[in-house]
Structure 1
Amino acid sequence: MTSHLLRLLVPLTFLSLLPAPLAAREPVSVSATVSAADPRAAEAGREILRQGGSATDAAIAMMLALNVVEPHNSGIGGGGFLMHHDGRTGVLESIDGRETAPAAARPDRFMGEDGEPLSFRDAWPGGYSVGVPGNVRLAWHAHRKWGKLPWAALFQPAIRLAEEGFEVRQRLDTAMKAVAPIWADFPEIQTYFWVNGAPAAMGTMLKNPPLAALFKRIAAEGPDAFYLGDNAKLIAQTVTQAPKNPVPMTEADLAAYQAKPRKPVCGPYRSFTICGMGPASAGGITVLQVLGMVEHFPLAKWGKDDPRSWHVIGEAMQLAYADRDTYLGDPEFVQVPIAGLIDPAYLKQRSALISMGKALNDYRPGSPPGAQVRTSALPQPESGTSHFVAVDRNGDIAAWTSTIESFFGSQLIANGVILNNQLTDFSFTPEKNGAPVANRVEAGKRPLSSMSPTIVYDSAGTPVFTVGAAGGKTIIMQVAKALIAHFDWGLSAQDSIALGLEFFNADGIVLEKGTSLEAMKAPLENLGHKVSVAPMGLKANAAERLPDGHWIGAADPRSPGVSLQE
């Protein structure tokens, strides 16, 4: 591969971290695996692998199947990010399928008449929050580059589920009950998921004929069946005439949407190279920031049961998130100092703020090289996302995180497709202290995301681990924690994602209830942290390469997800 092409794929700062790929390589995988947050989606991926499909083919099939069986979390009414490693060439690439704000969106979209930002509850349901969906264009772009089976073949498992029916299971039941009060204002979505005037009970078999029909059209005609014509017209009308928060969206908004190739963001951790999504995802950069700070401490020596490990992780986390909320946004609208934020010298400087004797308790953004002056404004919470991964026998890896944002997105539905509420990932306040907020709403802009599909390489440039998660802003820490657990503490992929999580809120550190981390509460409080214990809605999926070359998947025990071998 020429150095010119490599520069198109990996940020210049970290070219030395990945060995130059060979012109052609023998397959590096002697097995294939898939992992998804629902067994029916994982089975769809395995079915495609058995037909000779690539990792990308399997990932597309899983995304479509999740649209049916996990409609509250992800689907073609939303968007996502895909990381792809080519097992023959060694090339790493990524595609940004994040939703975009329609042309009518303005920076004050989420500001109330009183000059204050709307509450999330007021901004979330209805038209204000809907971005132009990206997953279909992302899938098409990926299939054209790395697909092997015919495009139409990838839709068949999802079409069967939508036509023949799918069982309501616990996660869907919980989500429907959570939004039931809101659906009083959204009768259209009730017709799909309610039975006899109430959310369908667990065990009920539901069908989605309009979605199956749309899948058939997209399978036959390609992505234009979604972004042009009758479907685009219906989506635009659904948003413009929403029963709550109606706001203009046009057919032109949908026709203009493009999934975009992005440079992966790569950086070192111990003897490995960690690669993730660049902006408009904050995932790759923030994971690398956390790792770049904790690398200066002997976590492997301390181990997972030592409070010192979690003190350091907690401090690094809050320093990294302070930078995230200040500097990151859509790179086509704001200057993002990517190289500065993950510069080893800068991260060493940030790491030096961590004292082993006392919590910092004041986590301000730093001044990374190349940064412009900005202020931070936090985006809103989210709960509806899904990650899935596929590895094929050629050694291709597809790691895809897909979302419609909150449970059932905006609560709007068109042709059986639930439309996202992704625009609530923008900062509601466009300016703070007289300076523009990087992640403010602008027409055509992609809102900042925490989605963190990640692929890890060893010192020889061989991919050895991949992970991603769902759970809003916790996604970044789920991924960082899994990487630390695997590479510092020697845990398997399965045990790494199952390990309890440390996160934070406005009051301080939060430890995941019901896990071994509860034992860290008193020691962390002795260091001056304010600590609470609470359940967390976490959901990660991963895969690791074993020493014999086999890949094995892992699924979060907190979810019904599974990994399947082929």
Structure 2
Amino acid sequence: MRLKILVTGMLLIWALGPGQAQQAADAVAPETSGAGGIETSQRLAPARALKEAGQPVAAQDWMIAAANPHAVEAGARVLAQGGTAADAMVAVQAVLGLVEPQSSGLGGGAFLVWHDGATGGITTLDGRETAPLAATPRLFQDAEGQPLKFFDAVVGGRSVGTPGTPALMAEAHARWGRADWAGLFDEAITLAEDGFAVSPRLAALIAGDAARLSRFADTRDYFLPDGVPLAAGDILRNPEYAGTLRLLATRGARAFYTGEMAQDITERVQRSGRNSGVLAPLDLAIYRVKERAATCAPYRAYEVCGMGPPSSGAVAVGQILGLLEGVDLAALGADSPEAWRLIGDASRLAFADRGRYLADSDFVPVPVKGLLAGDYLAERARLLGGDDALPEVSPGSPEFDHALNWGDDSAIELPSTSHISIYDRFGNALSMTTTIENGFGSRLMVGGFLLNNELTDFSFASHDNGRPIANRVEPGKRPRSSMAPTILRRDGKPVLIIGSPGGSRIIGYVAKTIIAWADWGMDVQAAISLPHLVNRFGAYDIEAGTSAEALAEPLAALGYEVNLRDLTSGLHAIEVGEGLRGGADPRREGLAYGE
């Protein structure tokens, strides 16, 4: 199969025009991290060529799609040696925390959706961060009770929640792993010690955030040695991170949550300066991953399953698709302003409900079944029956057995994050979205990794016009998220494994890609690459520099405010059928690879 993919990639190069051929040829050339660094093997060369050519990668036994070639390489080796999707995820996450530290890592959290190849069951693991026990609803308010400005809250210890990613890695491996736990960290440890070449994306993000990264000496020294931002191609080594990984490998995840590591994390948070936080050793000691039932909704012939509260992802994606169930999107097509009017206003209706009702269901009642009920969505879908943009959108009144009088939440959720999709030889499917929230999180480093700023996903205000906000800060609570790791199933079998980074736009990215695949008949790579149009709160964001710009004028004529902007998703998806086909977002540096 490896030879087959390589030959396919070379044939594609010969069929392309001169400019495209040069790009694809460059993609096939082996990527090295420079003198003294790890070399990404020739194994991934055809996958690069296919991505550059806009074609999906084909495989038969297993497949992985993730955000960095080094991480894909690590996961591929685990899968090729007979490991499960859970095993491969551990190796992938360990590498991602090193090579794209701005997006995810040991200091963050994650949501995982799992389809079990042996039983046919589907479940989810919640590795979301938790608020410290000492946190109060006024955590992000000033002395007068006014909400802080966003970045005044983010940078420093105040925004740091209890990390969940190490515990989730361990829980997934304990449930579904086959490989030796300690060996899953070998590649990341070697890469951290020998060094890797800083990617152009990482270099650009460091330069753009240099002022905030410079606020803390250890963070500055790592990302801006001698005060100069790392450049693309620089070799970056992280022996501290290697030491942390060795701790996890030899003593397990509990060593992260107790003892010296827990003490180091909490001291860093509590002594970070004028914006110190209240995270304490007890918060880490009591942290647990939670298994939750998957939140599923029907769409066409599929069952769309994902992560429920504290994520809003599965509910909002399910609502968008449910509102469009009665629309013949296939007949309208991907270039139709009418199709995008319907998709955009369906998204606005979902986001209105999200802002009022979605939060950590361990702390507040959340009407998940009511929000996804067919009769409720049919009633809301009648609002889409006009010819123009909805002039205004309000939350609906889903059926529920509790009195609901929540205020509306306007919490900001900025884009960063990473996504991993994996299918293994045993028929297991894994979709995991992983994050430290904003790029570079709180900008605090401990043990060679960055700590999250996840608490700023809570509402900074506790009340709205006298009504409590469901997503307000509370001790031990998990902040609402938009992460939407998703598995589509048909007749109980997985057919599409998908997810994306992108802050609150994740919901739109995932819904659009499902529609492109399910309704417009696009292959998995074409569906990912399709330009983005996202509407959350009324204004239509259109991906600049793409063919979607042609829809700007028609959508404006329908009454929308239109903004042309970069929309940098990081979609990674795998289609499961007679074989496997994978795609990786051309907007980022990830790859899909399988054998």
Whole-angstrom distance in 1 between the partners of 2:277 and 2:501: 29
Q: Partner of 1:305 in structure 2?
A: 335
Residues 518-537 of structure 1: pairs in structure 2 closer than 5 A: 518-537=549-568
Q: Does 1:357 align with 2:387?
A: yes
Q: Partner of 2:590 in structure 1?
A: 561
SS at match of 2:360: coil
Using the TM superposition, give the Cα deviation of residue 363 of structure 1 relative to its aligned residue in structure 2, in angstroms: 1.0
Q: Partner of 2:447 in structure 1?
A: 415
Whole-angstrom distance in 2 between the partners of 1:507 and 1:453: 25
**TM-superposition CA deviations, 1:516-544 (whole Å, max 9, x none):** 22111121122222222111121110000
Whole-angstrom distance in 2 between the partners of 1:553 and 1:65: 20
**TM-superposition CA deviations, 1:142-199 (whole Å, max 9, x none):** 1111000011111111111111101111121122112211133211111222222111
TM-score, normalising length from structure 2? Answer: 0.88
**TM-superposition CA deviations, 1:368-404 (whole Å, max 9, x none):** 1116111112111322200011111111111111000
Q: Partner of 1:468 in structure 2?
A: 499
**TM-superposition CA deviations, 1:322-372 (whole Å, max 9, x none):** 100110000110100010000011011111001341211201110011161
Whole-angstrom distance in 1 between the partners of 2:363 and 2:496: 33
Using the TM superposition, give the Cα deviation of residue 113 of structure 1 relative to its aligned residue in structure 2, in angstroms: 2.1
Whole-angstrom distance in 1 between the partners of 2:536 and 2:148: 20
Q: What is the aligned counterpart of 2:256 among 198, 202, 226? A: 226
Q: Matched residue pairs, number?
A: 535
Q: Does 1:403 align with 2:435?
A: yes
Q: Does 1:292 align with 2:338?
A: no
**TM-superposition CA deviations, 1:217-272 (whole Å, max 9, x none):** 11011011100100000000000001241122211110010000011001110111
- What fraction of aligned residue pairs are identical, expressed as a percent? 43
Retained in 1: the 8 A contact 2:422–2:497? Answer: no
**TM-superposition CA deviations, 1:260-287 (whole Å, max 9, x none):** 0011001110111100101001000000
SS at match of 2:107: coil
SS at match of 1:523: helix
Retained in 2: the 8 A contact 1:185–1:244? Answer: no
Retained in 2: the 8 A contact 1:73–1:386? Answer: yes
Q: Does 1:216 align with 2:279?
A: no
Residues 383-532 of structure 1: pairs in structure 2 closer than 5 A: 383-458=415-490, 460-504=491-535, 508-532=539-563
Whole-angstrom distance in 1 between the partners of 2:466 and 2:520: 45
Q: What is the aligned counterpart of 1:382 among 410, 414, 429? A: 414
Q: Does 1:109 align with 2:151?
A: no
Q: Partner of 1:157 in structure 2?
A: 187
The letter for the 2-side match of 1:363 is V
Whole-angstrom distance in 1 between the partners of 2:213 and 2:497: 37
Q: Does 1:43 align with 2:79?
A: no
Whole-angstrom distance in 2 between the partners of 1:56 and 1:512: 34
TM-score, normalising length from structure 1? Answer: 0.93
Whole-angstrom distance in 1 between the partners of 2:553 and 2:505: 22
**TM-superposition CA deviations, 1:22-46 (whole Å, max 9, x none):** xxxxxxx941000001111111100
Retained in 2: the 8 A contact 1:308–1:356? Answer: no
Whole-angstrom distance in 1 between the partners of 2:341 and 2:479: 31
The letter for the 1-side match of 2:459 is S
Retained in 1: the 8 A contact 2:351–2:537? Answer: no
Retained in 1: the 8 A contact 2:159–2:277? Answer: no
Whole-angstrom distance in 2 between the partners of 1:64 and 1:376: 37
Q: What is the aligned counterpart of 1:539 among 567, 570, 573? A: 570
Whole-angstrom distance in 1 between the partners of 2:203 and 2:487: 33
Whole-angstrom distance in 1 between the partners of 2:85 and 2:306: 18
Residues 34-183 of structure 1: pairs in structure 2 closer than 5 A: 34-183=64-213
Q: Partner of 1:18 in structure 2?
A: none
Whole-angstrom distance in 1 between the partners of 2:423 and 2:369: 30
Q: Partner of 1:4 in structure 2?
A: none
Retained in 2: the 8 A contact 1:127–1:246? Answer: yes
Retained in 2: the 8 A contact 1:127–1:244? Answer: no
Whole-angstrom distance in 2 between the partners of 1:30 and 1:40: 22
Whole-angstrom distance in 1 between the partners of 2:208 and 2:379: 44
Q: Extract structure 1 runs of 4+ deviating beyond 4 A.
A: none
SS at match of 1:88: coil
SS at match of 2:571: strand
Whole-angstrom distance in 2 between the partners of 1:248 and 1:195: 30
**Runs of 5+ consecutive residues of structure 2 not aligned to the other structure:** 1-58
Supply the RMSD in Å over aligned alpha carbons.
1.2
Retained in 2: the 8 A contact 1:384–1:409? Answer: no
**Runs of 5+ consecutive residues of structure 1 not aligned to the other structure:** 1-28
The letter for the 2-side match of 1:404 is I
SS at match of 1:469: coil
Retained in 2: the 8 A contact 1:341–1:368? Answer: yes
The letter for the 1-side match of 2:593 is L
The letter for the 2-side match of 1:438 is A
